[in-house]
Structure 1
Amino acid sequence: MAGGSAAHAQTAALQEPATIEEEAAVAAAPPSGEVVVTARRRSENVQDVPLAISVIGGETLDAQGAYNISRLTQLQPTLQFFSTNPRNTFINIRGIGAPFGLTNDGFEQGVGIYVDQVYYNRIASATLDFVDVEQIEVLRGPQGTLYGKNTTAGAINITTRAPSFDFEGRAEVSAGNYGFKQGKLSVSGPLSDTLAARLSLSTTDRRGTIYNVTTDSWINSQDTLGLRGALLWKPAEDVRVTLSGDFNLQDPICCGQVYARVGTTQRALDRQYTALTALFPGYRVPSTNPFDRLTDLDADLAARNELGGASVRVEWDLGPGTLTSVTAWRYWDWGPKNDRDFTGLPIYTKVNNPTHQDQYTQELRYAYEAGKLDFVVGGFAFYQKNHTTGIQETGPAASAWLLAPSNPLSHNPAVLNGITAENDILLKNLSLAAFGKLNWHATDRLTISPGIRINYDKKEGRYDSVVTGTASDGTRQLITNDASHPYYGDPWTAAQRGTQSSQFFEPNFSDWNLSYDLNLSYDVAADVMAYATYARSFKTGGINLNGVPSRADGTPALEVAQIDPEKVDHFEVGVKSQFWGRRATLNVTGFWTRIKDFQASVISNISGSNVLRGYLANADAVRVRGIEADFSIRPSQRLSAYLNGAFTDHEFVKFVDAPCPPELAGGVNSPANCDVSGQWLPGISKWAFSWGTEYNVPAKVLDRDGQAYVGYDASYRSKFSSNASRSIYTDVDGYSLHNFRAGFRTDSFDLFGWVRNAFDENYFESLAVTPGNTGLISAQLADPRTWGGTVRFSF
């Protein structure tokens, strides 16, 4: 649905188009009539579901070029997506969902991602290009009863097109600037009277948009391949078995950031960026204007992301209900190479932490519907094994950059050159749950819907980092905090230990949790429904698996190895309405969410060293509240328009031991922590909007009847903070994006041109404080203006 709102999806309800051509005239929105969703684990009209839901149809995704989750943010104002590479990806709804700016295998997101009812545990494993998508439902607010423990912010429910017993096919080719090439193909049809198949392919390739002067190459490219296959077996009228499998590969030259600005920190002036770069005569950053799109990263870059899996879904109609079983296995292989110092200096020459994950899920549920009662009951089991085996290595510039000038060893490049950390990180994650949701139609207008879910979670981890360096006698030695080690007092080893040392610990976590909610809905009139919801939800606790700070004696601070669960209290009221013969739809939602023990990023300075250790901790409380409105109108088959908006007020209610922003950190007398109570949460804009329109007229081209059409879609976000604790250096200014398209289509053919970010808006997706608190701020840049054309066939 264009604009990403349920309201837009419903604009044309009960106005069935007379011809296929007329239906094509609204391809920027779902077909006319009811929009069916499965948000409550059964098929319903979206306007009858007392939840804040946005529905985005496959035609909208195609028309607006939203071919992965990152592009949904321009359609849905309260959906935020931040990514510096597939693994360092965060998806938030209404500003909550994942800690901002830190990747850690031992925690879980607060936005559940589901593809064909299969749960994707890691956001990185859901960064695939959409392949043959039927529709996407964005459920806003806690969904813990039916969707599980880690949906404190909401859920994204993706449904692909099912195999068809009628032969059909789709083909699409796009080309554009920056060498953009994209192809999609989908074919479906019967193999027998009871067996149907669908095979889909998607491939995308595009040159990078940032030029690396060191390697004479363009980086942050796109190079993706997606395959999906499905078999639908109907051995009887009341039984449906769907076997699905998919393979996805991303292998771009990626991912790098650019110089954004330099700020002043509390470090000694000779330990800040300007003085440090002066130690290397002849070094100059290629540009201090980030929108020149130049960088000089000297370490190898890679972001190979392979993921796939298989699932079996069995649906059996039993009496007045349906029994559903979903069994799935998924894997994720992540092969990165990064430049951790964000400069063209050989400070860190390798930062590579490849990861392999296997996950297994089993869900069994029964959905019953009869008379005044309907309900869903079920159970869910999840097991994940995540193994990371990485390496980090420093180069010849590390001594001057990381050691204090007062240390005579800072002038010897050999001291820190070749420090190697070999990391072995293991996570085993088990989750079991039982759930139920009841809808009692107390009267013809009033429905009372309680729900409950009980969860058990267990995490077992291992963090083993073995660090070696070159001692002053030229031998390779372990860098350890163990004072009994024979080389502990060696001056070279001591300097290396102040930068990085070996660490080993085995954290674990287990807990039971209860989620519940109560929803009331009332049909005020034929096309007007009011509803209210209270939800008590949680996000499971976790373990820190990126290392933890060391105590004064050098042993790991295991008291911060565990992360407490988030506890969520959520209140929501809303009205869903249609009027003017259902040509117009207006849905309004107000919400108030308070989270206790909010999982937040913390960066801790290890006393007496240059080591910055990032880990997760719990903020006492945060609050997010606001109002959302989705409006759409289609006065005729020729014209449609939509406007969605959100106002979100957000703050740390209490967080007295937060990490300090860079301008307050790094000095001898700098506070160890800062009180950020009352400050903004990261990543949330106070105001966000999306809007657009499409107009078409009858036309004939090459003796073919169809429509000529023009479309316009836009979005706006106001200023937001891009650091865990708000900094004067990392606020991202507000920006607006404007996209246009124009073309000709019939019932089986569509040819159109498009331009995205038409006014070439220069804006940051995010800003980040680089390691070491030198004052260097790096930027993740969004796409510049892109343009191209698409031709699409159906048969």
Structure 2
Amino acid sequence: MKFKAVLLVSAALLPLATFVVEPARAAAAPAADVKEPDAVAAPIATDAADGAAAADEVVVTARRRTENVQDVPIAISVLSGKTLDAQGTYNIGRLTQLQPTLQFYSQNPRNTFINIRGIGAPFGLTNDGFEQGVGIYIDDVYYNRIASATLDFVDVERIETLRGPQGTLYGKNTTAGAINITTRAPSFDFEARGEASFGNLNFKQAKASISGPLSENVAARISVTGTSRRGTLFDTAQSEWIQSQDSIGIRGSILWRATPSVNVTLSGDFNLQDPICCAFAYGGYGPTQRPANRQYPALISYFPGYQVPSTNPYDRLTDADAPLAARNEHGGLSARVVWDLSDRDTLTSITAWRYWDWAPGNDRDYTGLPVYVKVNNPTKQNQYTQEFRFNHQSDRIGFTAGLFAFHQDIHTSGIQQTGTAASKWLLSPTSALSNNPAVLDNVTAVNDIRLNNTSLAAYAKVNWTIVEGLTLSPGVRVNYDRKKGLYDSVVTGTASDGTRQIVSPVPGSPYYNDPWTAAQRGIQASQFFEPRFSAWNVSYDLNLSYKVAPDVNLYATYARAFKTGGINLNGVPADANGAPILAASTIKPEKVDHFEAGLKTQFWDRRATFNLTGFWTEIRDFQANVTNGQFGTVRGYLANAQKVRSRGIEADFSIRPSERFSAYASGAYTDAKYTKFVDAPCPPELSGGTTVTGNQQPGAPGVPGALSPANCNVSGQVLPGVSKWAGSWGAEANVPGGLFDQDGQFYVGYDASYRSKWSSNPSPSIYTWVKGYSLHNFRAGFRTAKFDVYGWVRNAFDRNYIDLLLAGTGGNTGLIAAQVGDPRTWGGTIKLTF
């Protein structure tokens, strides 16, 4: 129904455009010289997919002013809306096929992680109390939660990916980089465009936009997009396809030329994804140190008649028996005021409110058995931001100074509930209680989790041209962060006398010694605490660039950055009396030292571009998932690893010898490791057994019944989620021709990506290495200035590959769950421009 509504809106917009375009052009003429807010960039004509002649420059606003991307002395990648459309990149997740150093992982919209060069967010752990290391901005508005940025792109002009710390340039502090998305601005010339795509798996996608003047000084734009696709994973328990796509997005903006020097842009958007999602397929079994009678092969044998649908994940079968949902609604309003104080000075104000409403349904035991029948954490967020930015540009000095305020309220009202299979699955089979389904059936945790998060900052960046071609750019940022949280989990279960009782961790509490309650307490117990964190931080950077020749630019950067501290909102270890250990409730800020040097050059009359970057980033107190016994207990929670390091080399090359051919290639070598992490969570093969004490030595990995270490030293091992080698490449060729009495171009395009193997577990495990793979996409069609018709095939060779591997329920049963990548998809697209 949602997709049909989008099609109706699209169909309504396009005839309206054709009706009003010609009569209204005269009205638009007086305002044709209006200055777009913050100098909206010209179309990027150097992308391989654009099919145009070589252009002199790609214009961006990544540093809050308009400049040639080759003059920007930082590592930055730019993709135009045309390239995104041509390659079928309609959300952030698909950017990874075009950006080798960008990593994106998503179990569902809430459990989504974006990293650059292997750093940015703790892998595999959802916790509202920490910040992202990669900032996402859409039209200058900061999106705090990655889940609220998993929207389909709506009328995008370009995407800039900046790598490395950006705290002295952007409103919110970011230690790993920033993704800066710019949508198309309202136009004072009437324009309209529409697009429809159809493909296998019942893929349907529609996009439409219309823009033009409402008066001499007011212009407006409205855009709408919708996507639907059948799922790629068949759920035998529910007899339906899951991992589907079902989304709509609407964005509107009004540009008011209040005076010749003041422009005001009001924007609003609404986005909804409501797929049947998300579950995992069976990915394999890897023996742990748990007793053999408590590992996966034995556990499923306790349920006669149960059999996993397939032991081959590429059969794309699962048996999720709990209701699935991934409803992700978000939107907001913003006001952007740009005041040209003079030819050299500009004052910008950006005021924004955003909301996020997450309504999930999960099956977190990764089996068709009723172990967990509910593990759902519905979340609501409201976010408010205010940024003031002053830009000055003169012949020798340019600078940006800003003030940024951010406030966020998050409320999660979660539930976790076990089912009739929980006793056999979660309790030792040597206990008589494991044969009684009633012991753990309907053990319910009702969670009330709240976060009040405030951040204030002042930042400045100066560009001083010392002599012609030599520019020194220091920057500084002062930040204050305050977080107040609440974690209140009330666990209830059925006691042995048949009454419902609170499962309390406090010795001496009612029913504490009841055998049923004691068994339930071993699975989950009630907990309440109110963590607090506040701190000031100062960060700074220094950049030196030297233009050796008009098209050769050298640069070097040092940055001292930080990622703000946080609070644990998923529970913390408890002491011997059952009280939460508050020392574990807060997380130290990350301290970042970043070094980078690069070369940017163009040659052959700017038909060819080659950029090279080397980087070295060290982070102390890296925020990570930790398991240790320092508080007298062993439990996983968010804490600090001592030190990590990411270093590597990135190269980009593009060439356009003529209007008829273009090609590109990008590659990255990334060496991202834990420099020192002595109390990391152990991988599955070193977990599940009796924890060593005193002088005892851990047993061999993967041997059932062996002793297990309390924690593991993973110093020198790789960070999760990042491949050592990654690359993307492609080309497009065209020839002039005619079709339907229209002159245009016939064209063919090819795009591909590769990444080497990577670890899919916070601590590298022999069971969760994802094999390297390459993907190849093709497209061919005919285009004119008015329309573009083409066919496409993605993952053309139907390569089987894995997006994510996870250790199953409990982490040490040996079950490995797999998220399988998309199979080959194909279809056709038609675009119309008026």
**TM-score range relative to shorter protein:** over 0.9
Counterpart of 2:820 (choices 765, 778, 781) is: 781
Counterparts in 2 of 1:596-675, with a 5 A limit?
596-603=620-627, 613-668=635-690, 669-675=707-713
Secondary structure of 1:409's match? helix
Q: CA deviation at 1:608?
A: 12
Per the alignment, residue 164 of structure 2 pairs with 141
Counterpart of 2:356 (choices 332, 340, 354) is: 332
> 2:555 matched to 1:516?
no
Q: CA deviation at 1:481?
A: 1.2
Q: Deviations over 1:717-746 (max 9, x none)?
A: 001101000000000010000000000000
How many residues end up aligned between the 2 structures?
A: 773
Call closer, same or farther: CA 1:180–1:706 in 2, change over 3 Å: same
Distance of 1:61 and 1:141 partners within structure 2: 23
Give the partner amino acid of 2:222. L
Per the alignment, residue 238 of structure 1 pairs with 261
Give the % identical residues: 69
Call closer, same or farther: CA 1:30–1:374 in 2, change over 3 Å: farther
Q: Deviations over 1:365-387 (max 9, x none)?
A: 10000121010011000000000
Counterpart of 1:445 (choices 466, 469, 473) is: 469
Distance of 1:148 and 1:412 partners within structure 2: 56
Call closer, same or farther: CA 1:503–1:170 in 2, change over 3 Å: same
Q: CA deviation at 1:484?
A: 3.0
CA contact (8 A) 1:266 1:667 kept: yes
Counterpart of 1:401 (choices 395, 409, 425) is: 425
Over aligned residues, Cα RMSD in angstroms? 1.6
Call closer, same or farther: CA 1:150–1:331 in 2, change over 3 Å: same
Secondary structure of 1:85's match? coil
Counterpart of 1:423 (choices 426, 440, 447) is: 447
Q: Deviations over 1:65-85 (max 9, x none)?
A: 000000000001000100010
Counterparts in 2 of 1:524-543, with a 5 A limit?
524-543=548-567
Secondary structure of 2:83's match? helix
CA contact (8 A) 1:25 1:637 kept: no
Distance of 2:631 and 2:479 partners within structure 1: 39
Q: Deviations over 1:274-318 (max 9, x none)?
A: 111110011110000000000001011100000000000000001
Call closer, same or farther: CA 1:479–1:25 in 2, change over 3 Å: closer
> 2:209 matched to 1:170?
no
Counterpart of 2:121 (choices 98, 102, 110) is: 98
Counterparts in 2 of 1:660-699, with a 5 A limit?
660-668=682-690, 669-699=707-737
Call closer, same or farther: CA 1:66–1:569 in 2, change over 3 Å: same
Distance of 1:727 and 1:41 partners within structure 2: 43
CA contact (8 A) 2:53 2:656 kept: no
Give the partner amino acid of 2:348. T
Per the alignment, residue 178 of structure 2 pairs with 155
CA contact (8 A) 1:186 1:201 kept: yes
Call closer, same or farther: CA 1:714–1:794 in 2, change over 3 Å: same
Give the partner amino acid of 2:479. N
Q: CA deviation at 1:617?
A: 1.2
CA contact (8 A) 1:446 1:523 kept: yes
CA contact (8 A) 2:232 2:822 kept: yes
Call closer, same or farther: CA 1:664–1:49 in 2, change over 3 Å: same
> 2:728 matched to 1:728?
no
Q: CA deviation at 1:151?
A: 1.2
> 2:226 matched to 1:203?
yes
- Once the two structures are overlaid, the 10-residue window that deviates more, 481-490 or 79-88, is 481-490
Counterpart of 2:382 (choices 329, 336, 358) is: 358
Q: Deviations over 1:601-621 (max 9, x none)?
A: 135699999xx9542111110
Counterparts in 2 of 1:190-589, with a 5 A limit?
190-319=213-342, 320-589=344-613
Per the alignment, residue 742 of structure 1 pairs with 780
Q: CA deviation at 1:557?
A: 2.2
Distance of 2:304 and 2:315 partners within structure 1: 23
Give the partner amino acid of 2:239. D
> 2:109 matched to 1:71?
no
Q: CA deviation at 1:489?
A: 1.5
CA contact (8 A) 1:30 1:60 kept: no
Secondary structure of 2:505's match? coil
Q: CA deviation at 1:237?
A: 1.6
Q: CA deviation at 1:155?
A: 0.2
Distance of 1:617 and 1:149 partners within structure 2: 22
Per the alignment, residue 702 of structure 1 pairs with 740
- Once the two structures are overlaid, the 10-residue window that deviates more, 288-297 or 22-31, is 22-31
Call closer, same or farther: CA 1:462–1:29 in 2, change over 3 Å: farther
Per the alignment, residue 87 of structure 1 pairs with 110
Secondary structure of 2:169's match? helix
Call closer, same or farther: CA 1:297–1:624 in 2, change over 3 Å: same
Give the partner amino acid of 1:657. D
CA contact (8 A) 1:756 1:785 kept: yes
Per the alignment, residue 184 of structure 1 pairs with 207
CA contact (8 A) 1:149 1:539 kept: no
Q: Deviations over 1:687-744 (max 9, x none)?
A: 0010000000001001100000000000000011010000000000100000000000
Distance of 2:351 and 2:51 partners within structure 1: 34
Give the partner amino acid of 1:629. A
Give the partner amino acid of 1:735. Y
Q: Deviations over 1:304-353 (max 9, x none)?
A: 00000000000000122110000000000000010110100000001111
Is there any run of 5+ residues in structure 2 with no aligned partner, and where?
A: 1-42, 691-706
Give the partner amino acid of 2:814. G
Call closer, same or farther: CA 1:623–1:149 in 2, change over 3 Å: farther
Counterpart of 2:142 (choices 92, 101, 119) is: 119
Distance of 2:333 and 2:87 partners within structure 1: 29
TM-score by length of 2: 0.91
CA contact (8 A) 1:30 1:59 kept: no
Distance of 2:146 and 2:418 partners within structure 1: 29
CA contact (8 A) 2:678 2:713 kept: yes
> 2:755 matched to 1:717?
yes
Secondary structure of 1:416's match? coil
Distance of 1:302 and 1:74 partners within structure 2: 27
Per the alignment, residue 33 of structure 2 pairs with none
Secondary structure of 1:144's match? coil
- Once the two structures are overlaid, the 10-residue window that deviates more, 543-552 or 82-91, is 543-552
Is there any run of 5+ residues in structure 1 with no aligned partner, and where?
A: 1-19
Q: Deviations over 1:5-64 (max 9, x none)?
A: xxxxxxxxxxxxxxx9x9999526898332111111111110111011100000001000
Distance of 2:654 and 2:284 partners within structure 1: 41
Give the partner amino acid of 1:499. I
Distance of 1:166 and 1:273 partners within structure 2: 64
Distance of 2:627 and 2:237 partners within structure 1: 30
CA contact (8 A) 2:736 2:745 kept: yes
Give the partner amino acid of 2:470. L
> 2:55 matched to 1:32?
yes
Q: CA deviation at 1:238?
A: 1.1
Give the partner amino acid of 1:360. Y
Secondary structure of 1:146's match? coil
CA contact (8 A) 1:114 1:156 kept: yes
TM-score by length of 1: 0.96
